[in-house]
A and B are shown apart, each in its own frame.
Chain A
């Protein structure tokens, strides 16, 4: 079935540094969704990208969808301790629109 690879698995940054996580697929994605999960919490929807080459921003977060719709990235500028958590990408190319999640990137922000 559809597989979405996400890297890195872990990332430790100093507060104020930037952070990027990447999702890659061997096949074309119909769309990509991004979720954030705080420690001990549940995944919370951040954004959905649909169009080839699409770029969306939410304050310090920038989301990109590749031109070939086979990869996506989430970039956080000047991380804050509130950014701590695991970031997941998810693809809904499967039948009946169920989501296939990447393995996630766990972000730690050191004060």
Chain B
């Protein structure tokens, strides 16, 4: 099993550009989440999904969209990138309330 995979590993964007961060898991987990990590602020939940076709907002959803068309994939879309979205983004999956498995992260710089 590959676990949770994320692409790309690094990305530089200009303000106003859009992009999609990819996340996939091969563990047949129901729950998938997106977090952003900023220095001194821990991990903050952006969006999450409890199953295919079901998504909901987390603590910091503004500027991001998600969809969950399959169990395996949970892409995160930045519609119009802003410097405030410079961060490290982690995708995670879990089976219910159990261990969350994190992907390796995407480091995003918005100029």
CB-nearest residue of chain A to B48 = A98
CB of A88 within 8 A of CB of B96, answer no
B38 CB to closest chain A CB, in angstroms?
Answer: 10
Most chain B CB within a 10 A radius of its CB, from A31, A88, A96: A96
- Chain A interface (Cβ < 8 Å from any Cβ of B): 1, 6, 9, 31, 33, 35, 41-45, 48, 88, 90, 92, 96-104
CB of A99 within 8 A of CB of B45, answer yes
B47-87 CB contacts (< 8 Å) to partner A: 48, 50, 56, 58-59
Range, interface on chain B: 20 to 34
- Chain B interface (Cβ < 8 Å from any Cβ of A): 31, 33, 35, 40-45, 48, 50, 56, 58-59, 90, 92, 96-105
CB of A96 within 8 A of CB of B56, answer yes
Give the chain B neighbours of A31 by CB distance below 8 A: 97
Most chain A CB within a 10 A radius of its CB, from B50, B92, B100: B100
CB of A101 within 8 A of CB of B99, answer no
CB-nearest residue of chain B to A9 = B40
CB-nearest residue of chain B to A88 = B42
Q: A96-B48, A97-B97, A103-B40 are in contact. Are A42 and B103 (CB under 8 A)?
A: yes
CB of B99 within 8 A of CB of A48, answer yes
The complex places the Cα of A20 from the Cα of B45 at a distance, in Å, of 26
- Give 16 A-B pairs besides A31-B97, A43-B43, A97-B50 with Cβ atoms closer than 8 angstroms: A6-B42, A9-B40, A33-B100, A42-B105, A43-B100, A45-B100, A90-B43, A92-B97, A97-B31, A97-B97, A98-B33, A99-B100, A100-B59, A101-B44, A102-B42, A103-B41
CB of A104 within 8 A of CB of B50, answer no
Give the chain B neighbours of A104 by CB distance below 8 A: 42
Query: Which of A33, A48, A98 has a CB less than 8 Å from the CB of B45?
Result: A98
CB of A48 within 8 A of CB of B43, answer no
Give the chain A neighbours of B56 by CB distance below 8 A: 96
Query: Which of B33, B42, B90, B100 has a CB less than 8 Å from the CB of A103?
Result: B42
